Amino acid sequence: MYALWRTIGAVMGYRDVKAQVLSCLRTGDILHESRGDIDIKNLLATGQVTLAEVVEVIGRSRGSDYRCSPHHSVDGVDVHIIQRRHEGVDWYIKWYFVEPTTVFISVHH
Amino acid sequence: MRIFRVGDSQKVICEHCGSLESATFKLRDVPFSDGSGIVKKVLVGVCDCCDEVCVIPHQSTPAVRRQLECQRKAVESRLPAHLLDILGLATSEVGATADFIPSLVKYYIHQLATDPEAAGKLKAFLRTELAAGKADKRLSLKGKIISEELELVKSAADIDSTTDVIKGIILKINEDILLLKRPEAMAELKGIVAAVA
């Protein structure tokens, strides 16, 4: 029963999360995390992929592509991850929300 | 697109502080994580607590991309003067001026990148007398895919040094255009010269 509840909860959470991140991507209300430098592997922060491409990947993702975990150092902030294969390419997208903005940590192939 | 201005602030997680902090947007010189270069005077969010860059607004992405492409574009080589003279003579031979020199070399890099067998023969040119000499001239090649193609040529030719592979390519141009006057290469290059003239 607990497993079923957890599954339903995760799916519902994912839908809300997906809607919010897509809204931020469409309105351009996004930031890219930095650790004092520009992550050369972050394809979105370096302009090697477009917002539209990330919208496409996240838009087509499913609950099974998604996972969520607490931020490693800040209580109360969830880190969201979508990992999926899209048009032959493996994508890894990680972000958190600081209402109403999305802060992307990773957008990698 | 949400646009931030210098002096605006935003709550974000600062990884340096390990906490949620207020960041103020400022113009800073920010390095790439692999140390390959710096994006100058780019708008970034700076942590009010530790003064480290902790966030980059999406509006700064075009400036980041531009710098990244600039770095990837330029391939610089220092070469003996006579090798540049060979390129000057070869461009003249196909009906072009010295402006065409980078295009000529890029044409050969492109051809060799798709022909590993031909690239494999470049090493032999490095053993000739013409490969030697004091490197007192500079050749700069720019292009979106030049670095990637040059890496393919280096790999196929089994040559580690960019300068050496450029030397090999120039000596192949010498053989093809000035010595053997290979009709197919000459005709194709003359066509390109006509198209860009």
The Cα of B98 is separated from the nearest Cα of chain A by a number of Å equal to 34
Given this model, what pLDDT does residue A56 score? 96
Tell me, yes or no, whether B79 lies in a domain. Answer: yes
Tell me, yes or no, whether B18 lies in a domain. Answer: yes
Tell me, yes or no, whether B1 lies in a domain. Answer: no
Given a cut of 80, whether residue B144 has pLDDT beyond it is no
The number of domains in chain B is 2
Task: Indicate the residue of B2, B16, B19 with minimum beta-carbon distance to A35.
Answer: B16
Contacts of A34 (CB under 8 A, 6+ apart): A45, B30, B44, B45, B53, B54, B55, B56
Confidence (pTM): 0.63
Residue B91 burial (CB < 10 Å; 0-12/13-18/19+)? buried
Residues in chain B within 8 Å Cβ distance of A98: 10-13, 20
Contact map slice: B 163-192 vs A, CB within 8 A:
none
ipTM for the assembly: 0.87
- CATH number of residue B38's parent domain: 3.10.20
The Cα of B58 is separated from the nearest Cα of chain A by a number of Å equal to 6
Per-residue model confidence as pLDDT tens digits over A11-70? 448 999 999 999 999 999 999 999 999 999 999 999 999 999 999 999 999 999 999 999
Domain containing residue A47: 2-108
Contact by Cβ (8 Å): B25, B44? yes
Given this model, what pLDDT does residue A1 score? 35
Find, in chain A, the residue whose alpha carbon is nearest to that of B50: A36
Domain containing residue B141: 75-196
Tell me, yes or no, whether B15 lies in a domain. Answer: yes
The number of domains in chain A is 1
Tell me, yes or no, whether B119 lies in a domain. Answer: yes
Backbone angles phi, psi at B103, to 5 degrees: -65, -40
Of B17, B47, B73, the position where a domain reaches its end is B73
Helix axes A2-27, A51-59, angle to 10 degrees: 160
- Bond preceding residue B57 cis, omega within 30 of 0: no
Of B29, B49, B73, the position where a domain reaches its end is B73
- Shared domain check, B52 and B101: no
Cross-chain Cβ contact B13/A73 below 8 Å: yes
Per-residue model confidence as pLDDT tens digits over B21-52? 999 999 999 999 988 789 999 999 999 999 99
Given this model, what pLDDT does residue A2 score? 34
R_g over Cα of chain A:
14
Contact by Cβ (8 Å): B79, B166? yes
Residues in chain A within 8 Å Cβ distance of B68: 40, 46-48
Per-residue model confidence as pLDDT tens digits over B58-70? 999 999 999 988 7
Helix axes B81-93, B162-173, angle to 10 degrees: 40
Closest CA to A31 of B91, B107, B45: B45
Per-residue model confidence as pLDDT tens digits over B75-131? 889 999 999 999 999 999 999 999 999 999 999 999 999 999 999 999 999 999 999
Residue A21 in contact with partner chain B when CB distance is under 8 A: no
- Shared domain check, B123 and B60: no
- CATH number of residue A87's parent domain: 3.30.2310.40
Residue B24 in contact with partner chain A when CB distance is under 8 A: no
